[in-house]
Structure formats: structure tokens, C-alpha cells
């Protein structure tokens, strides 16, 4: 089901494209919707946090679906198998072979994966259940709904989410772009500190959406921050959250204010990086969605 070929795909997330999207009057509202959904749809726990960070878990889910949907029926060794997933995870720097085994076991236990009963038992092929794709589609509906007013064909993309083949095509397109070198943080390197820590992006999203009524998005005024509340909400330790915020302050990304540092100011370089991140996400989604619709 390949939708792109080597040398034919151009990254849609150019500095000019990102700047144009961020300049649209409705961008701040779209960003707020997407950032809010990141925290509301959070699914994690202490064991998952120990196995890998949020970014790696999301990539892991996408690539399990990619191996399944890109399977060649004429090749009995293709598809989603533990061996192929281990190779891909290690090649892409997502996690080790041992952690791949643990994640696949957790996904089977959680009802996201099941054995392929039609496969030769020697292949140990797995298939995703509807639960895994449904989880991603719930996220897509929020993000495509948020970005639809920003794009001339945004409503068509949103409508296409209801088509049975659209989701698999979208998965393949996004995964192939990742395998071809696409990275969300290319134009938002200042988010690396948050993206590489457990619950880091969730903590950032929580701060972004904590602004007072009438403030901008990202907020320019100080926002409340409770280390204990963030730790409880995202199932990480207080020292973990405290170190993240201290490191972010040391890098000039936030400034602790208020009595006991119970508020933070989001500094311009972090605000710009957050905007670039969401604009990059919208441009990627739109590019993949157009290919998926064209392949009908």
C-alpha cells in the first residue's frame, strides 16, 4: 500500500509553510484544541513510562500498524512479526529488542494486538485489533477538526476520516515519511528537552493550555504550575517533573515566578517552538491525507 517512493516526496513542513500557517487568525484556536486533546487523551502508566517515553510509544504504535498494512500477501515473511518489529525499532532508534518484546506483550494483553490465526505458526505474525486504530482515529478527529478551518480542503480531509481505507492509507503515508527522514522537531529543536522526557510533551501541553481567559496561545502571562499535580496526572515522579522544569529554566525556555515558583512564564523561544511543532503536525497530516484521498 505504498503511497510514496524514494526521491519523489518533498517535506511539506518548510519554514515558509510553517510561518504562513502560524500567521492565520485561527491557528491559535486550533493549537489550543490540539494541545488540550494531548492531555485529555493521555494513556500511560508507570510501567509504560519505564519501558519508553511518550514519543517512542506513539511511534511504536504507528509502526506496528505500518508493518501490518504494508504487508505483501505474496511474501509470507512480511507483515507484523516480533522479529520485524525488533529490527525496525532498533534501526529507527525507538527501543531495544527486549523492550520491543515487552511492548508487544503489553499491547497483546491490552487487546491492541492479536495472533494472526491465518498465518503459518512459524512466522508468529500479529494483527492489530480495531482498538488500536480506533485510538488513533479518535486523535485524528480532534486534530483534523482543529486544522480544517486553516486549509481550503480541510473539511474534505475531515470527512474522509470516515472512509474504511483512509485510516490505513494515512498510517502508511505517515510511517513512510518518518522512515524517509521526516521529524517533527526539525523546525522546533527547542522542544527536544520536553520530547525526550517521559510525559514531557504532556507537561508542556498542560502549561500551554493553562493561560488565563483573554491571554494569547501560547500564553504570554505567567501560568500556574503544581509539580505534585503534574506528577499525579501523568504518572511520573515529583523529582522527574522538578528536574524537567529546572532544566527548561536553565535553558531559558521557561521562567519560574510567584511564591515558591508556583507559576511559570513561557519564554519566546519555547512559545515559537510549540507553534512550529503544531504547524508541522498539521502540514504533515494534510500532506498524508491528500495522498490518501488521491489513492481512492
Note the pLDDT tens digit of each residue in 240-284: 999 999 999 999 999 999 777 789 999 999 999 999 999 999 999
CB atoms within 10 A of CB 104: 21
Nearest by Cα to 179 from 1, 53, 9: 9
Place of cell 519566546: 268
Note the pLDDT tens digit of each residue in 94-119: 889 999 999 999 889 889 999 998 87
CB 279, CB 147: distance < 8 Å: no
Residue 5 has pLDDT above 50, yes or no: no
Cell numbers that stand for 235 in this block: 504518572
pTM of the predicted model, to two decimals?
A: 0.91
Write down the pLDDT at residue 76.
Answer: 82
Note the pLDDT tens digit of each residue in 49-61: 555 567 788 889 9
What residues does 263 pair with on adjacent strands? 224, 257
Mean pLDDT of the region 34-42: 88
Q: What is the rounded CA–CA span in Å between residue 173 and residue 152? A: 21
pLDDT band per the 50, 70, 90 thresholds, residue 43: low
Q: What is the mean pLDDT of the chain?
A: 89
Write down the pLDDT at residue 7.
Answer: 46
CB 161, CB 292: distance < 8 Å: no
Mean pLDDT of the region 77-86: 92
Q: What is the rounded CA–CA span in Å between residue 127 and residue 114? A: 5
**Least confident among 148-157, 195-204, 242-251:** 195-204
Nearest by Cα to 54 from 39, 66, 68: 39
**Residues near 94 by Cβ (< 8 Å), separated by ≥ 6?**
52, 56, 59, 60, 63, 88, 100
CA dihedral over 129, 160, 181, 189, signed as positive or negative: negative
Helix, coil or strand: residue 48: helix
Nearest by Cα to 198 from 16, 11, 21, 54: 54
CB atoms within 10 A of CB 139: 14
* Residue 250 C-alpha from the chain's centroid: 26
Range list of β-strands (E), the chain? 113-115, 126-128, 223-224, 254-257, 263-266
Write down the pLDDT at residue 8.
Answer: 56
Nearest by Cα to 212 from 220, 202, 203: 220
Write down the pLDDT at residue 53.
Answer: 65
pLDDT band per the 50, 70, 90 thresholds, residue 6: very low
Q: What is the rounded CA–CA span in Å between residue 165 and residue 120? A: 26
Domain boundaries, the chain: 43-184
Q: What is the rounded CA–CA span in Å between residue 16 and residue 4? A: 23
Cell numbers that stand for 258 in this block: 510567584
Nearest by Cα to 22 from 288, 289, 284, 282: 282
Amino acid at each position: 500500500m505504498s503511497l510514496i517512493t524514494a526521491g519523489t516526496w518533498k517535506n511539506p513542513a518548510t519554514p515558509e509553510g510553517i510561518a504562513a500557517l502560524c500567521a492565520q487568525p485561527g491557528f491559535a484556536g486550533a493549537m489550543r484544541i490540539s494541545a488540550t486533546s494531548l492531555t485529555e487523551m493521555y494513556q500511560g502508566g508507570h510501567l509504560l513510562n519505564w519501558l519508553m517515553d511518550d514519543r517512542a510509544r506513539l511511534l511504536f504504535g504507528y509502526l506496528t500498524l505500518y508493518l501490518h498494512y504494508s504487508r505483501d500477501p505474496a511474501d509470507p515473511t512480511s507483515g507484523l512479526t516480533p522479529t520485524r518489529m525488533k529490527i525496525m525499532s532498533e534501526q529507527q532508534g525507538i527501543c531495544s529488542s527486549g523492550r520491543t518484546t515487552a511492548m508487544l506483550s503489553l499491547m497483546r494483553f491490552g487487546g491492541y494486538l492479536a495472533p494472526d490465526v491465518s498465518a503459518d505458526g512459524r512466522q508468529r505474525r500479529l494483527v492489530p485489533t480495531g482498538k488500536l486504530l480506533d485510538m488513533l482515529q479518535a486523535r485524528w478527529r480532534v486534530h483534523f477538526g482543529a486544522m480544517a478551518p486553516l486549509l481550503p480542503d480541510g473539511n474534505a480531509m475531515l470527512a474522509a476520516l470516515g472512509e474504511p481505507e483512509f485510516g490505513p492509507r494515512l498510517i502508511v503515508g505517515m510511517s513512510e515519511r518518518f522512515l524517509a527522514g521526516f521529524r517533527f522537531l526539525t523546525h522546533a529543536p527547542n522542544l527536544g528537552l520536553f520530547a525526550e522526557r517521559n510525559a514531557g510533551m504532556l507537561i508542556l501541553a498542560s502549561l500551554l493550555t493553562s493561560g488565563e481567559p483573554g491571554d494569547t496561545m501560547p500564553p504570554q502571562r505567567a501560568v500556574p504550575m503544581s509539580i505534585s499535580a503534574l506528577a499525579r496526572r501523568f504518572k511520573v515522579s515529583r523529582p522527574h517533573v522538578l528536574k524537567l522544569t529546572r532544566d527548561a529554566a536553565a535553558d531559558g525556555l521557561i521562567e519560574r515566578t510567584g511564591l515558591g515558583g508556583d507559576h511559570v512564564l513561557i519564554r519566546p523561544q519555547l512559545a515559537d517552538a510549540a507553534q512550529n511543532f503544531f504547524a508541522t503536525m498539521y502540514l504533515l497530516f494534510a500532506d498524508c491525507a491528500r495522498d490518501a484521498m488521491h489513492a481512492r
